[in-house]
Structure 1
């Protein structure tokens, strides 16, 4: 690459290259205005693949985190009415991952689809219990007390806004469970009990 010496100071010369970059070179036998050749820097062959590998690693990490957050049970919402109860397992985004029904042979009418928002699932269950004339109690349990309180307020607001005054459900928050007893953590023991 060609360059022109523009300044010389203290044994070093500043050379302006064709691409507009200024290079610092030794001033031995050089004069201002002299045209010189500067060897082009070799590009590092590992730099581009390393950049791509880092991008792929970041994308994989983000995808893994998203899948973990979507499929990992984080809270449970229990809807108890009379002798029947439904326990919804919920992820961090307050979406239903699964439901366990006790006291009935079959799940509630109109099965709640996976990843439906919890307030729709709870509202469906409460309306079904109200048809049978039973009072309903809702208990929210989460790994974090802040999340449980926000979820309780959200469900409570949903029923207040619906305007159904005949039999509003009681919504409570249970204190956070130990790390070993958090929703979804004891899957092996649950499967052993079912067998």
Structure 2
């Protein structure tokens, strides 16, 4: 009875992952196409010296905006957004790959014997991907800031996702810890089979 309900859950998760994979695949296709076909890019920026407008009962500080520029630099095309508010290539690639590995992992789970080293390795891969993505995103953020300052001296890149990038690293560490616990469960399961 339990394996039947687990099978239903696994099927539901597979359906959600397939839908997600199709959506993320289209996003990756679009962002990859923009990398090769579009040299116009956008970046959130802020003025180094904020402009303040005095109002009757407050002050309006206009110090943020969007910098639109053109570049044929390959690294710029990979890091910057080509459509404002849309995914960049790095984010699209990460979500697609993660979704693929999750789908492969879920497809490999046997409800009667879920603890295998293969599943533990795939969970470790997902954790490692999160850490790598967090580190790459931090590097891309610092590149964005330095590149924007090189283009226009009055502004600096508005790198607001630093906390999210650190969170990705923390999530990766937690997933690696989970994978380690999963490996311990595999070891105990194998020992129980040998004793029986």
TM-score category, normalised to shorter length: under 0.3
Query: Higher strand proportion, which one?
Result: 1
TM-score normalised by L of structure 2: 0.22
Q: Which protein has greater RCO, CA pairs closer than 8 Å, 6+ apart?
A: 2
Query: Higher helix proportion, which one?
Result: 2
Which structure would you say has the larger Rg? 1
